[in-house]
Amino acid sequence: MSTTVQKTGPAPAKGPERPARSLADAVFRARELSIGGALVLLILCTWIANPSFLDEQGVEDLLLNSSILVLLAVGQSVVVITRNIDLSVGSVVGLTAFACGDFVSGTDHSAVTVVLLGIALGTACGLVSGLLVSFGRVPALVVTLGMLYVIQGLDYWWAGGEQINAANLPDDLLSLGTGSVLGIPYLPLITAGVLAGTAYYLRCYTGGRELYAIGSNPEAARLAGIPIRRRVLGAYAFSGAVAGFAGALWLARFGTVVADAANGWELTVVSAVVVGGVAITGGVGSVWGAALGAALLTTIGSALVVLKVSSFWQQAITGVLLLAAITTDRIVQRRSTSALRKRRRQ
C-alpha cells in the first residue's frame, strides 16, 4: 500500500510591510476626509459671507473653474504614484490648446477631431518624457523641467505673438466648453468620467496595482518581475494624454488662447496632488484625493475673489498647504519605517 505524502513548503511569511502600509494608508485616507471637510467648510463660510457664491451662476463657475485642474491632477497623480513627477503638464496644455486652435480656426472640424488631436499631441510629449525617464534613466525632475522649457519655446515659436480668437472657432467646439446637460456643464461631467475610470483602473487592474508597487519599492517590484520601465512609460504617456485632453478643453472653455496658456500651472497641479494625499515619495494615495486637493485649491482662489482678498494670499495658502502635506508625508514615512523595524525584531 502506498502512502501519498503531500509536500508542503514553508509557510508564507506574513508581509512585514503590512503594518507600515496600514499606517500610511490610514493617515492618507484621513487626509482625504479632512480635505473634503475643509472644502465643505470653506464653501459654507464663503456662502455665509456672500450668498451669491452658491447661486446658480456661482456653482457653475466653481464646477467649470475646477474641471481642468482636477483633470490634470488625475494624470499627475498616476506619475507621482510611481515615485516620479511631471513638471511639463502646464506647457503641454498651452501647446495643445494653441495647436488645436490653429488647426481648426476658420474650419468646421468637429469637437471630436480637436479632442483627438489634443490627446495625440499630449501623448507624444508624454512619451518623450517617459522614454527619457524609464529607458534613459534620467531623473524625472530634470527631464520634465527640460521638457517644460522646450515645449514652451515651441509654443511661443508656433504662436509668433498671435492669438486664437473664439470668433474663428467652430460652434461645435465652443459648445463643448459652454454647453450643459440637465443643467450640469459638460466639462465637469467629462472630468468625472476620466476620474472614475482612472480610479477603477488603479484599484482593479493588475497594471494599476503594479504602479503602486513600483512607487512603494522599485527594487522589490523589479525582483517580482514587474515591467517597471514599461509601466513608468505608460504613466507618462497617460499624463501627457490627459494634459493634451485638458488643452483641447481649455480651448473649448475660453475660446481665446495665447501662447502662455496655463503658464505656471505645473506647480499648482503638483500641489493639488500632494495636498490631496498622494505621497511625493510614491506608492500611496488615490486620484480621488488628488481631485479633492485640486477642488480645494480652486475653491480657495474663487473664495478669495468673492471676499475681495488679494490673490497673493492664494499663492501663500497654496504654499502653506504644500509644506504641510510634505511634512506629513515625511512624518508618516518615518513612522512607517519605525513600525517595519519593530515588526522585523519580533
The number of helices, as runs of H, and strands, as runs of E, in the chain is 13, 2
Q: How many domains does the chain have?
A: 1
Compute the distance between CA of residue 150 and CA of residue 56 in angstroms, rounded to an integer.
Answer: 41
Report if residue 18 sits inside a domain. no
pLDDT greater than 80 at residue 212: yes
Confidence of residue 3 (pLDDT cuts 50, 70, 90): very low
Q: Is pLDDT at 9 greater than 60 in this prediction?
A: no
**DSSP state, residue 255:** S
Mean pLDDT of the region 140-164: 91
DSSP 205: S
C-alpha–C-alpha distance, residues 250 and 26, integer Å: 36
Q: Give the domain extent around 313.
A: 26-44+51-334
Within a domain: 108: yes
Q: What is the CATH number of the domain that holds 263?
A: 1.10.3470
- pLDDT of 341: 65
Across 307-325, average pLDDT: 75
**What is the per-residue pLDDT for 12?**
39
pLDDT digits (tens, 9 = 90+) for 28-80: 566 677 788 888 888 888 888 888 888 888 888 888 889 999 999 999 999 99
Q: Residue 45's pLDDT is what?
A: 85
Rounded Cα–Cα distance for residues 80 and 91 (Å): 18
Sequence-separated contacts (24+) of 306-315 with Cβ below 8 Å: 306/46, 306/49, 306/50, 306/52, 306/53, 306/58, 307/46, 307/49, 307/50
Mean pLDDT of 102-116: 88
- Could you tell me if residue 343 is inside a domain? no
Name the pTM for this structure.
Answer: 0.85
Task: Specify if 5 maps to a domain.
Answer: no
Burial tier of 227 (Cβ tally within 10 Å: 0-12, 13-18, 19+):
middle
Does residue 225 form part of some domain? yes
In a domain, 60, yes or no: yes
For residue 38, tell me if it sits in a domain: yes
pLDDT at 337: 62
Within a domain: 19: no
